[in-house]
Structures are given as structure tokens and as C-alpha cells.
């Protein structure tokens, strides 16, 4: 039996000149993976940012694992259950290990345990040979993998990945795709905004389409 991780009801988002989201209804089953497609500028990023509490919605309701969420006062506890990864992730100008440890630190994970988890995450992302390289000197693909590790290490209930393979050359894209593929074995719900055919074609991924401000199964 599957339970609903995220449920959106009539989510709207309008700007003075434009109604971007016109009532998004959506239910994501726990531990499943979803790809969200849609034309450029249709609101995929905006929708994910609303869910992640980085942007306010104009209206609508959200439930997370059955609990109603007050979108006007986005709860801090929910922030710790899901994580949004930018299309072009920002890495702090410190070190790869520090970047991956950041969220664990925020959750009060003790140092020895943190180091263990960070080590695992570095291995998972295949960036072990890069740990002495300054984060901002990494290539786009390496940054993306570090950002994925930084998100996954938190064992979130929901991961929101914004076009994780866009702007990557074929090798980098392949490595990123391989990482995303491994997430299916984790107990995490994944929503990926993407135009990437290979992600869209992944057999375990359910397809959602955003068009004219609404989401439908594709």
C-alpha cells in the first residue's frame, strides 16, 4: 500500500501581469519518482520553490504526509523533511566536505556521525578524488553531483531536483543520470523537473506535465 507524501490542492501563483499557476492539483506517492515536464517558463521551478518554502503561493493548500501545511507560515520542521536542488546549484566557498556536512550540522548531527555520513555521500557522488578542489572551481557536472550528495545525505522524505542534467555535457550528464537512477532504491520521494528524454523515459518514473498552469499525468 502506498501513502501520499505530498498533496497539492488548487495551488495558484499570480504575478501582477500574469497568472502562472492556475490551480495545481497533485499527489505524490511516498518513495516514488516523478518527472515534471512543461515548456520553458510554464512554472516548474516556481512550483517546486513553493513546495520547498522558498517562495509564497498565492493560494491553495498543501499536505505533507497527511499533515496540513500552512503555506503562509511555512513550518521549519517541513524544511528539514524536504530539500530543493537548484538547476545551477550553489556550493558554499568552503570545501566539498563542508558543503555536504552543512545540512547535517543544521540538524544537530554529532561530528563523528557527520563525518561518517559525509564520507559515504562523497563516495556515492563519486567525488572522492576532488575533495581538495575548491567547490567553485568544480565543473558544472561535479557541482551538480556534490549538490545531489548534499541533499541526499540528509535522508529527506522528498527531493525536488530542478533540471539536474540541463547544461551538462554528455559525460557529466551520464554520471548525474546514474546517481538519480540510484535514488529509486532509497526511501525517498523524488520529483524532477526536466526536459531530459532519458529521465522522462526511465521506467520507474511517473510522468507529470505542467501546462496552462495545471498539472496532469502525461
Partner 1 sequence: MDLLEPTRYAFYLLFTGDPALWRIIFTSLYCSLAAIALIAPPAVALGFLIAIVSFPGRRALVVFSQALLSFPTVVVGLVIYMLLSRQGPLGFLKLLFTPEAIIIGYMVIAFPVLVVFTLSAVQGADPRVHETARSLGARRLRAAWTTLFEVRFGVMAAVVNSFGRVVSEVGCAIMVGGNIAGLTRNIPTAIALETSKGEFAQGIALGFVLIVLALGVNVALSVPQGEGGMK
Ligand X SMILES: Nc1ncnc2c1ncn2[C@@H]1O[C@H](COP(=O)(O)OP(=O)(O)OP(=O)(O)O)[C@@H](O)[C@H]1O
The residues of the shown chain that bind ligand X, judged by CB under 6 A, are 15, 17-18, 20, 38, 40-46
Q: Other C-beta atoms within 10 Å of 185: how many?
A: 9
How do strand 18-29 and strand 67-69 relate by DSSP bridges? unpaired
Distance between CA atoms of residues 20 and 211, nearest Å: 10
Q: Which of residues 4-63 bind partner 1 (CB under 8 A)?
A: 52-54
Nearer to partner 1, 94 or 216 (CB): 94
Q: Per-residue x/- mask for partner 1, residues 186 to 215, rule CB under 8 A?
A: ------------------------------
Give which of partner 1, Mg ion, ligand X, none residue 18 binds (C-beta under 5 to 8 Å, depending on kind): ligand X
CA nearest neighbour of 50 among 20, 16, 89, 88: 20
Choice between 154 and 160, CB closer to ligand X: 160
Instruction: Tell me if 164 contacts partner 1 by CB under 8 A.
Output: no
Give min distance, CB of 163 to ligand X, in A: 6
**How far apart are the C-alpha atoms of 124 and 106, rounded to whole Å?**
21
Q: What's the min distance (Å) between Cβ of 118 and ligand X?
A: 30
Residue 194 in contact with Mg ion, rule: CB under 5 A: no
Sheet holding 33-37, edge to edge: 82-85, 158-162, 189-193, 33-37, 205-211, 214-217
- 202 Rama class: left (phi>0) / alpha (psi -120 to 50) / beta: beta
Interface with Mg ion in residues 10-49 (CB under 5 A):
45
Question: Under rule CB under 8 A, which residues in 93-122 are in contact with partner 1?
Answer: 93, 102-103, 106-107
For residue 198, the SS3 value is: helix
The stretch among 63-71, 87-95, 175-183, 201-209 that binds partner 1 (CB under 8 A) is 87-95
Q: CB-based contacts of 81: which residues, under 8 Å, 6+ apart? A: 64, 65, 156, 157, 158
H or E stretch at 80: none
**Nearest approach, Cβ of 41 to Mg ion (angstroms)?**
8
Taking CB under 8 A as the rule, does residue 90 contact partner 1? yes
Nearest to 86 by CA among 134, 147, 6, 32: 147
- The per-residue DSSP string of 126-154 comes to T-GGGTTS-GGGS-HHHHHHHHHHHHHTT
Q: Which of 5, 57, 71, 83 binds partner 1 (CB under 8 A)?
A: 83
Number of residues that bind partner 1 (CB under 8 A): 25
Give the footprint of partner 1 on this chain (CB under 8 A): 52-54, 76, 79-80, 83-86, 88-90, 92-93, 102-103, 106-107, 134, 136-137, 150-151, 154
Amino acid at each position: 500500500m502506498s501513502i501520499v507524501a505530498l498533496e497539492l490542492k488548487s495551488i495558484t501563483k499570480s504575478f501582477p501581469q500574469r497568472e502562472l499557476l492556475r490551480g495545481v492539483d497533485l499527489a505524490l506517492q511516498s518513495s516514488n519518482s516523478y518527472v515534471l515536464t512543461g515548456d520553458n517558463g510554464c512554472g516548474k521551478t516556481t512550483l517546486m520553490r513553493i513546495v520547498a518554502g522558498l517562495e509564497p503561493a498565492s493560494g491553495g493548500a498543501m499536505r505533507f504526509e497527511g499533515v496540513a501545511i500552512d503555506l503562509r507560515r511555512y513550518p521549519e520542521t517541513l524544511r528539514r523533511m524536504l530539500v530543493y536542488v537548484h538547476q545551477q546549484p550553489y556550493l558554499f566557498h568552503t570545501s566539498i566536505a563542508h558543503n555536504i556536512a552543512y545540512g547535517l550540522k543544521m540538524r544537530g548531527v554529532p561530528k563523528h556521525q557527520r563525518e561518517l555520513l559525509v564520507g559515504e555521500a562523497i563516495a556515492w557522488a563519486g567525488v572522492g578524488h576532488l575533495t581538495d578542489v575548491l567547490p567553485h572551481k568544480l565543473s558544472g557536472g561535479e557541482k551538480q553531483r556534490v549538490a545531489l550528495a548534499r541533499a541526499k545525505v540528509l535522508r529527506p522524505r522528498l527531493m525536488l531536483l530542478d533540471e539536474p542534467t540541463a547544461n551538462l555535457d554528455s559525460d557529466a550528464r551520464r554520471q548525474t543520470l546514474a546517481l538519480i537512477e540510484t535514488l529509486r532504491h532509497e526511501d525517498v520521494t523524488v520529483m524532477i523537473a526536466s526536459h531530459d528524454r532519458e529521465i522522462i523515459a526511465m521506467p520507474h518514473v511517473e510522468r507529470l506535465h505542467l501546462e496552462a498552469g495545471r498539472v496532469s499525468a502525461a
